[in-house]
Structure 1
């Protein structure tokens, strides 16, 4: 089938590459010339494991091309994916300006009747608005809309987006006509026939709600275990063991029960706030999600509190912070908890030494050089620092031995906000430790 993807960011480019992998002919559109030129130059403009290989294969086999010309992108296509940003407004509502602009683009430039698929995360009832935008733009041109609107939310995780798209645990499609489902089933046939993947067929509004409900639930799960972690710290229990035992229950499951700095990224913070706003607009007070947000805010303050406990005054100290991306295996720093940790330390007058394997380029110039030093290696960050804080659970940090920490640190203080190290091994090496969800007595330095 012939597929157009509007927006070649994290969602759009992964969608384009995977559609091409399934044998479809794909054209990606973006109004950012830098993104278009990056892909044309055989380079993916962000870090996502496995994506560059997939994109290059699609280009080499003639199944992927990119353009900044909407007329070229939308000529004679069967399906158009809208994969544009939906940033959060000041009041928590999602900004759907880019979605409306994409719909108007389809109405203006599509040369044949097509299925317009929402892939961006949008609030319930957005499909109706897209239909309205298509109709208004068509009327202004003296015609009528011939396009079908469906909802096909993505459930990919940054850092494993390619695998999540190629091998999903479900495909959700909301359509209000038989034609919409027929086209989308044909589109996903290479996946549905080759894997045991359910096709969840529903209406547009329900599909839109499924996406927000899924992300809000996962965010709540993270906040729940962080609340349990505070109780564990106060009582001397171990949150990791608690989470493992909970996870054996098939009704609960182990994923997203990792206590730490809380959730971040481009989805959970925005989607939780959007869901609260959507509920309020229709008269429902979603208090559970407001508490989820509060617990998440508190989780980001934990490392600085632990540094004060272990170091007393931190304004005259140098602290190594390991990780700035909101999670490992991505360079995305949007709503990254590490940023709030660094900002809080800088506000205290602490000098920060910051390392991340792939994301440092995105914080270049964010702080003054006298406030934050960007380090090329974890060792460079840690050596001579008065303490180290783990803010992102990159695997390479877990490989640092306790003896190396003792050798590199000026003071033997470790604040493990992601529980990457065995606290017993750290204590046995003579380090003073703060570990999320564990009560570990520490003497003064």
Structure 2
């Protein structure tokens, strides 16, 4: 098929290049000319494991443009994959979704053929039909489900594993209303051997939020249990090894530590809280998930001050700045509140991350960035392990004070003084 992708961030670029690998022709449309130029030169606009190689392999099957008319008129399906960041009150900012909907609608006004528009951006239930649909109808002069198709197809891609997840999904969820759109998307996804769930559009939107909220809840629950275990001298990882053996529970996401970050979990849980409050509900569990997560990284500072009570002018090393390994994404990284707290204590900071230092330096240009992870250890009075990059498992921690937020076994064995956040 011929597919257009609006937005070339993590979801858009991985989805588009994934479809190109499966034999489809793909057009990316983005307002950022720098991203357009990078894609057209075969370079990924973000770091994601395996993406660069796929882009090189599939040159000729995709290109990028800033022109909605070209993208929509030369494709049969358009995926809207733009960001939905948080507003200050926790609700989602729909400006990019609205802009994409208008652009697609204007382009559809010049097209006679039936065209399917699929929302892949994470949006609160009711957004596809309440915001996207009327904007496309207004700009195109056409009717949804009659003149053009409209669907919701949430993404379940893990940053750092997004390419693998695209080709090997746990499930594909598609919210549709008309049979023609359903048949088009059924055909598009026929190569995938996983459960495919067709629902109404609002249900598909809610499945994404419920999934992320539950996974975030598992993390905060593990951290609460971990905090208790720390004070009892119990290994929380052994606890959850035992808990996870229960087939009703599943061991995934029970990694106690310093909490979750990234572009999805914090934003999506906050958006769901805000929507619930608008509906007159008080989502106490979801609020507690966020409260635990915001406090958890600061436990590293508490543990550090047990061993260095006055941090002023002390050199503190920070290993890991991305919100998780195998990505350069620092959105909601747990390193952010940790560095902020160290700066308030007037500590001197030296930090290192294999991929995320340029992005982190945009937020904290005032701290020192090392050329290697070993340099951080060599130059610091104490080391905080914030992201579990594989290379951190091979460092020499002997003679150092180490506060570990991610359970690096070698640090546990070698450090002069070792403190795990929850163990």
What TM-score, normalized to structure 1? 0.91
CA 1:158–1:365: 2 relative to 1, 3 Å: closer
Contact 1:14–1:51, Cα closer than 8 Å, also in 2: yes
- Which of 383, 398, 406 is matched with 2:398 structurally? 406
1:299 is the counterpart of 2:296: yes
Aligned-partner Cα distance in 1 for 2:320–2:421: 16
Q: 2:372 aligns with which of 367, 371, 377?
A: 377
In the alignment, which residue of structure 2 is the partner of 1:441? none
Deviation at 1:367, TM superposition (A): 3.2
Equivalent-residue separation in structure 2 for 1:423 and 1:217 (angstroms): 31
Partner of 1:66: 64
1:130–1:149 contact (8 Å) kept in structure 2: no
1:153 aligns with 2:133: no
- Tell me if 1:328 matches 2:330: no
Q: Secondary structure at the match of 2:187?
A: helix
Please name the residue that 2:385 is paired with.
390
Q: Which runs of 4+ in 1 moved over 6 A?
A: none
Instruction: Please identify, of 6-15 and 97-106, the stretch whose mean Cα deviation from structure 2 is larger.
Output: 97-106
Partner of 1:362: 359
Match of 1:13 in 2: 13
SS at match of 2:419: strand
Partner of 1:137: 139
| Shift in Å, 1:366 | 3.4
The whole-number CA distance in structure 2 between the counterparts of 1:26 and 1:290 is 40
1:126 and 1:367 map into 2 onto residues whose CA distance is 35
Match of 2:404 in 1: 416
Structure 1: distance between partners of 2:412 and 2:3? 54
Q: 2:244 aligns with which of 231, 243, 247?
A: 247
* Matched residue SS, 1:250: coil
Residue ranges of structure 1 left out of the alignment (5+ in a row): 439-445
TM normalised by structure 2 equals: 0.96
- Residue 435 of structure 1: aligned partner: 420
Greater alpha carbon shift after TM alignment, 308-317 vs 257-266: 308-317
Measure how far apart 1:282 and its partner are. 1.6
Q: Displacement, 1:424?
A: 5.4
Note the 1:146-225 alignment, pairs <5 A. Answer: 146-191=147-192, 195=193, 197-225=194-222
Q: Is the 8 A contact 2:321 2:386 kept in 1?
A: yes
Asked if the contact 2:329–2:356 (Cα under 8 Å) also holds between the matched residues in 1, the reply is yes
* 1:384 to partner: Cα distance: 3.1
Residue matched to 1:256: 253
Farther-moved stretch of structure 1 (67-76 vs 86-95):
67-76
Mapped to 2, the partners of 1:28 and 1:424 lie a distance apart of 46
Aligned counterpart in structure 1 of residue 234 of structure 2, from 237, 244, 263: 237
Residue 66 of structure 1 aligns to a residue whose secondary structure is strand
Q: Does the CA contact (< 8 Å) of 1:21 and 1:58 recur in 2?
A: yes
Which deviates the most, 86-95 or 108-117?
A: 108-117
CA deviation map 1:149-208 (0-9, x unaligned): 1010000000000010111010000101211211111111122xxx3x011111101000
Unaligned runs of 5+ in 2: none
Please, which moves more after superposition, 74-83 or 385-394? 74-83
In the alignment, is the contact (CA less than 8 A) between 2:397 and 2:410 conserved in 1? no
Contact 2:393–2:410, Cα closer than 8 Å, also in 1 = no
| Matched position secondary structure for 2:58 | helix
> How far apart are the structure 2 equivalents of 1:258 and 1:230?
12
Tell me, yes or no, if structure 1 residue 83 matches structure 2 residue 81: yes
Distance 2:365 2:99 in 1: 38
Rounded to whole Å, the distance in 2 between the matches of 1:156 and 1:38 is 22
Distance 2:379 2:40 in 1: 44
Asked if residue 53 in structure 1 is aligned to residue 48 in structure 2, the reply is no
Once residues 211 and 143 of structure 2 are traced to their aligned partners in structure 1, the CA distance between those partners, rounded to angstroms, is 35
Alignment RMSD: 1.4
Name the count of aligned residue pairs: 417
- Distance (whole Å) between structure 2 residues aligned to residue 251 and residue 269 of structure 1: 26
How many angstroms does 1:316 deviate by?
2.8
CA contact (8 A) 2:300 2:421 kept: no
